[in-house]
Amino acid sequence: MLRPRVVSALILGPLALAGAFLGGLPYFALVTAVAVLALREYWGLASQMGYRPDRPLALGILALSLIQARGHISLEAWGGGLSLLLLLSLALQLRFPPLPDAGMRRDPVVDWALGLGGGLYIGWLSGHFVSLRELPSGFQWTLLAFLTTWAHDSGAYLAGRAIGKRPLAFGISPHKTWEGTLAGWVVGSAVAAGAALYLGRPDWEALGLGIVLSLAATAGDLVESFLKRRAGAKDSGHLIPGHGGILDRIDSLLFVVVVVYYYVIWMVGD
């Protein structure tokens, strides 16, 4: 399992870094492709639970979020578009009464809620990849988010395999351990703090950022693990050898990039 995991990382890591370095349309296209694939895997998990998420609603939120992040529409326009999507999607659900004996649960309320949740979880959060890169020092901070998450995940995975014994959250993810998690926190915090110091942030601030980002990475991982647990799935997909699906690879990043973005605009003033 370790060898295909390393090979996949050696291919996908440079691709992500190259896209972030180029920025602009190439990076936007890369983020859009990844987000759509992750959303598709989310739909698959929901289907395994017996539901049919409102796909047009989820896709609409994703499209609006990425376009707004690129700067082509204002946040007010995003809110207006979202409001129209919500109204229209709710009205359309009236056409689908519950069919409890049709093989699928077909609960219109749950289907609509899962569509909304998927659109916000994947679409809205993914927009922060673009928003962060569009900042004046966006590439440097995007690089910090990537390296911190990769360091955290690698540290947790390797330490968990080597010395992991005490389950972190057995009901959510049976294979995650406290030993691996603590190692991920240490490695991730060190990388984030070092990168923040390099970018000129004060010592205490850099350390605090490192700790918060490591906690965010763990939270993102556990959220996706919870979804997989509910669906009875080991991975969100099988697209990446050794890693599972796209959502398996960006679950922590979705949380980390949001924290980095708001840290930069609120604390750095970039």
Q: Picking from 7-11, 116-120, 141-145, 216-220, which range would have the lowest pLDDT averaged per residue? A: 7-11
> What mean pLDDT do residues 31-43 have?
96
Instruction: Identify the pLDDT of residue 12.
Output: 85
Instruction: Identify the pLDDT of residue 2.
Output: 60
pTM (two decimals): 0.92
Residue-wise pLDDT tens digits, 197-229: 999 999 999 999 999 999 999 999 999 999 999
Return the percentage of the chain with pLDDT > 70, whole number: 92
Instruction: Identify the pLDDT of residue 189.
Output: 96
Residue-wise pLDDT tens digits, 89-106: 988 877 665 555 455 556
Instruction: Identify the pLDDT of residue 132.
Output: 97
Backbone angles phi, psi at 169, to 5 degrees: -150, 80
Instruction: Identify the pLDDT of residue 1.
Output: 53
Residue 164 confidence class, pLDDT cut points 50, 70, 90: confident
Arithmetic mean of pLDDT over the chain? 90
> What mean pLDDT do residues 185-196 have?
97
Is the confidence at residue 107, as pLDDT, over 60?
Answer: yes
> What mean pLDDT do residues 226-238 have?
87
Helix 125-133, helix 24-48: angle, nearest 10: 170
Q: Return the half-sphere exposure (C-beta side, CA atoms, 13 A cut-off) of residue 161.
A: 7
Residue-wise pLDDT tens digits, 41-76: 999 999 998 888 999 999 999 999 999 999 888 888
In angstroms, rounded to a whole number, what is the distance separating the alpha carbons of residues 178 and 212?
17
Element (H, E) at 4: helix 2-22
Residue 152 confidence class, pLDDT cut points 50, 70, 90: very high
Nearest to 185 by CA among 147, 221, 218: 218
Q: How many helices (H) and strands (E) does the chain have?
A: 10, 2
Residue with tokens 């906690």: 215
Instruction: Identify the pLDDT of residue 265.
Output: 95
Residue 9 confidence class, pLDDT cut points 50, 70, 90: confident
Is the confidence at residue 4, as pLDDT, over 80?
Answer: no
Helix 55-70, helix 108-118: angle, nearest 10: 20
Compare 93 and 163 and report the one with higher pLDDT: 163
Is the confidence at residue 35, as pLDDT, over 80?
Answer: yes
Cross-strand partners of 169: 173
Residue extents of the structural domains in the chain: 2-268
